[in-house]
Amino acid sequence: MTGGTLALLIQLTLVFAPLSLAAIGGAIAVLPEIQRQVVEIHGWVTADSFMDLFALAQAAPGPNMMVVSLIGWQVAGVVGLLVATIAMVGPPALLALALGRLRARFAGLSWVRVTQAGLIPIALGLNLASGVVLAQAAHQGVTTLVLTLGTTLFVWLTRWSPLWTLAVGAVAGMAAS
């Protein structure tokens, strides 16, 4: 590993590890800051390819935060991918482990139960909001609208695997082009 690569890997860590702890509400919440760091400050990728990488991470399987993995990959290959992913995942994962254990230990306390129950509707409301924001980003006319609404009803009201509607979405998108 050359000194230059090592310096890049350290920079990747220094960018993503602090951002990971700021990402309350998910990686999407710090997306604008990731873009600023990666495109404007470090110049690792262009603004256009940043959007492309984000679209890919969203279209591909896996958590949407994997846009960070793709950026690491662009910057320093497979090692960069691993370093960027670990920097983004590691710190919050340790926190989650700690909080999960505290939660389990005190699960019997009524204020813990009430707090947990109070957080559920916020989580569901935010998830719903993410879906709507994503739908707006994907919106390109009647075809995409029908796809979004159809998938919503399909997932909401049936127990069949959503893979079917995703396949239909891909084929319909292709056919509509």
Partner 1 sequence: MRHAAPDRDRPDPSAPPSPTRLAFFLAYLQVGLSGFGGANAWMRRVIVEERGWLTEQEFAEYLGVSQILPGPNALNCAVMIGDRFHGTVGAVLALLGILGGPLVPLLGIAGIYAQFGSEPMVAATLKGLAAAAAGMTIGTALKISTRLRPGLALTAVGVCAFVGIGLLRLPLLAVVLALTPLGILAAWWSAPWRGSVQ
3 part of the interface to partner 1, by CB under 8 A = no
* Rounded-to-integer distance, Cα 148 and Cα 161, Å: 16
Residues 78-117 that bind partner 1 (CB under 8 A): 81, 85, 88-89, 91-93, 95-97, 99-101, 103-108, 110, 113-117
Angle of helix 3-22 versus helix 67-105 axis, rounded to 10: 50
Kindly indicate which of the ranges 5-13, 36-44, 47-55 contains the residues binding partner 1, using the contact rule CB under 8 A.
47-55
Selected binder of partner 1 within 7, 41, 47, 153 (CB under 8 A): 153
- The answer to whether the beta carbons of residues 72 and 82 sit under 8 Å apart is yes
47 part of the interface to partner 1, by CB under 8 A = no
Selected binder of partner 1 within 65, 75, 76, 84 (CB under 8 A): 65
Could you give phi then psi for residue 141, rounded to 5 degrees?
Answer: 115, -170
* Tokens standing for residue 20: 């990971």
